[in-house]
Structure 1
Amino acid sequence: MNPIPRSITRTLFRFRTELTSESRSLAIHELEVAKYKASVSLRYLAGLVVLPWVISISFQKGLEPWVTNWWNTNQSPKILDYIEEESILGRFEKIEELFMLERMVEDSLETDSPDPRIENQKKMIQLVKMYNQDCIQIMLYLLTNIMGSLILSAYLILGKHKLAILNSWIQELFYSLSDTTKAFYILLATDLCIGFHSPHGWELLINWIFENYGLAHNERIISGLVSTFPVILDTIFKYWIFRRLNRTSPSLVVIYHSINE
């Protein structure tokens, strides 16, 4: 491990080159490298943002007829018992309550009402159609998210070189800021991820992941994840401050602790 911070060695190297005739060529080279890093990083970052949306839209449109046909002809009883069981029972209770309310209103108005058995059959048919459509959408989202995750993972693995350039570019942008600005952004990020109000955001994120991957809602698992993730992130962040920032920028650590207090 090099005991001298990179900022000091870089400054000494630039000072040495300025004393020689290499300063102009070095400046041109650094400008070209900076442009290349910015161009590659922005394109790669745009791909990370746009690719999931393109995958989601294209796969949903392409797979919907196939999933609908498969579900209507070869649906599994286990899937029927597992996916959205509580949701469908809750909808049935709501429809039954609405039907009873309609019956009470019609009886109070003393109007001629149709046969209750026919109305029950209509409501049940409507409920089955709603349930069937919900199951199709869940299966469609599940397949789309799995395939999207595989494609995105392949994009990250195949683009390791570009990912390294993006990481280097972000680090250079971060270290080019003043210590006060860096402390502000670090404090903002930590408050969003591990702050006092962060558990509600983590709960929404985990619920969204469960819904998109067709997992049944489990309050115990979600509560455990919500209480665990911020602790893990807080430990990683404190280790990062101790390991990295104390060595590269001690003044930033002092400013951060002063603002945090």
Structure 2
Amino acid sequence: MKYWNLKKINQLAFEKTSIIPHSMSKLFDRFKQELNPNSEVEAIEEFKVAKYQTLTSVRYILILLVMPILMNQASKTFLLNPIVNHFWNKNSSNIFINHSQEERAFADLQRFEEKLHFELLIGKLDSVSLESAQQSITDRALAIALEYSKESANAIKNILADFISIIIFISILILNKRQFSILRSFINESIYGLSDTAKAFLIILFTDIFVGFHSPHGWEIVIEAILRHLGLPESRDFIFIFISTFPVILDTIFKYWIFRYLNKISPSAVATYHNMNE
């Protein structure tokens, strides 16, 4: 398996077009390497470096993913839960943190009342149930209030815990610059070392998921989940503005990357991408 180092990739990405084609220069380099008497020793050293790079990158990725998640859950369980619950429950009037929660709560209660009224009309509930209908509505309203009160408290916990996780994540990046450089080199080698078909497939998959014609529905679900996670109002105007602008910006950046870097490093992959996308 052939491994490229980060220096070679950057040279390929930023070098200017020369008179001699890249394929000819690569052919000369290959002949030069085969005639080198120390080629076997260099190949073994290259394999050792690649193995070290892979193991270091995998460990660093695990640390970047696991440590913030563990700190997030630990801070919520042992620190934020008792503190936030104490101050939130101290004022019994605290139920909703934004108007979107109120609208969802009122809709839940309205659906319950309509269902109860329907069952009364079709005779599914008898006269005894009719007398206790109001009590059922009251019990349901209290249950909804408790549910959304917990959701509001959890939103505050999520904001604080996510802030702690971001600090941990940034701290790991700052304190481990060498591992981050190795990881970046490993990612570049993994991407640019793929076959032309694999590169074209990943490009099409990425663009169809994030900037394709069907992506707005996925973005809408993701944004609503993030807003609800942080306890922010689920503004339809904000969601529609985000969907109409961010995928366009993302698509522009991605096309610039294809034109500026990938087209120089692997023009055949770009040609394969255009052929598969037609």
Asked whether the equivalents of residues 184 and 256 of structure 1 are also in contact (C-alpha less than 8 Å), the reply is: yes
Deviations along 1:214-244, whole A, 9 cap, x unmatched?
Answer: 1100001101111112111111111111111
Deviation at 1:144, TM superposition (A): 2.0
The change in CA–CA distance for 1:6 and 1:171 in structure 2 (over 3 A counts) is farther
**Of 8, 11, 15, which residue of structure 2 is paired with 1:2?**
15
Equivalent residue, structure 2, for 1:94: 111
Residue in structure 2 matching 1:217, options 208, 216, 234: 234
Question: What corresponds to 2:179 in structure 1?
Answer: 162
Match of residue 185 from structure 1: 202
Q: Which residue of 2 aligns with 1:129?
A: 146
2:158 alignment partner in structure 1: 141
Q: Rate the CA distance shift 1:168–1:81 in 2: closer, same or farther, 3 A.
A: closer
Q: Which residue is equivalent to 1:35? A: 51
Distance between the aligned counterparts of 2:27 and 2:178, measured in 1? 27
Give yes or no for contact 1:83–1:135 (8 Å, CA) kept in 2: no
**1:254 alignment partner in structure 2:** 271
Normalising by structure 2, we get a TM-score of 0.78
> What is the distance in 2 between the residues matched to 1:107 and 1:29?
80
Hey, what's the Cα distance between the residues in 1 that align with 2:132 and 2:270? 76
Percent identity of equivalent pairs: 37
Deviation string, structure 1 residues 36-92 (Cα, Å, up to 9, x no partner): 110011111222333343234322322222211110115897965657222232233
Q: Distance in 1 between matches of 2:126 and 2:48?
A: 83
**Are 2:207 and 1:207 equivalent residues in the alignment?**
no
RMSD: 3.2
Of structures 1 and 2, the one scoring higher in RCO (CA 8 A, sep 6+) is 2
Gapped runs of 5+ residues in structure 2?
1-13
Equivalent residues of 1:7, 1:248 under 8 A apart? no
Deviations 1:117-159 (A, max 9, x none): 7666545544433332222222222222222223223223333
Counterpart amino acid of residue 257 in structure 1: H
Aligned positions of 1:226-245 closer than 5 A = 226-245=243-262
Runs of 5+ unmatched residues, structure 1: none
